[in-house]
Amino acid sequence: MVTTPGKKKLVIWGATGPALIVADILRLRGEFEIVGYLDNLAPQRKNIEFGGAKVLGGDEELDSLLAAGVRCMIFAFQNNQARLRLGEMVKARGFQLVTAIHPTASVASEVVIGAGTVVRAQSAIGPETRIGENCIIGYGAMVSHSCVLEDGVHLSSGVNLAGGTHIGRGTWIGIGATVIDPCHVGKNSLVGAGAVVTKSIPDEVVAYGVPAKIVRRLDERVA
């Protein structure tokens, strides 16, 4: 494993499109050296060139990474629950989760952003907003003042959150959706693309439409 002196060594967990986005942000920031990618889903990709480095293998590589002095990690996949679960595991193993904030993102000075969160290009985050760990803030997403995003939230591209909005743990807001003031969205829910949330959404449901309506509980089977 060839490394660059002076930069912290980092591994990206994930080896598909989202990983390319995260790698680009990290290289633009210039703070870390990406030593490779982890991919549990396709073991046949081990040692394949990807995103300017190699796929190192799956989670069986964690001990060898630690032995090589790699302490920094970031997740680059869209499964909210997996990011939360694996985040606790890798921290217990001795890894530090890092953030990736694109240089074109506008982040107010009083914003708190948790470890492992990715903030993509052209997004904006207003004052007194708190964002938890392992969140994804998509391209051009607009998060107004005084919002709270709990751990593992994914805001897709073009999402617009009004001031004071609260998004629960592990919830995914689809592309171009809007949540108006003073609505909140519960934990582990899914708000569909283009939805306009005019009433608060509870935990563990699927909602979409204009205005957004609850169509089923997340644990219900679709016919």
Would you write out the chain's pLDDT as a tens digit for each of its 223 residues? 445 557 999 999 999 999 999 999 999 999 999 999 999 999 999 999 999 999 999 999 999 999 999 999 999 999 999 999 999 999 999 999 999 999 999 999 999 999 999 999 999 999 999 999 999 999 999 999 999 999 999 999 999 999 999 999 999 999 999 999 889 999 999 999 999 999 999 999 999 999 999 999 988 765 5
Domain assignments of the chain as residue spans, ordered by start: 8-98, 100-207
Tokens of 211: 């205005």
DSSP H/E element including 26: helix 17-29
Fold of 8-98: Rossmann fold (3.40.50)
The bridge status of strand 172-173 relative to strand 190-191 is: parallel
- The reported pTM is 0.94
d(CA 160, CA 137): 11
What fold is seen in the domain 100-207? UDP N-Acetylglucosamine Acyltransferase; domain 1 (2.160.10)
At residue 182, the pLDDT reads 85
Cα–Cα separations (whole angstroms), residue 8 to 24, 35, 59, 170: 16, 10, 20, 29
Q: Contact, 185 vs 206, CB < 8 A? A: no
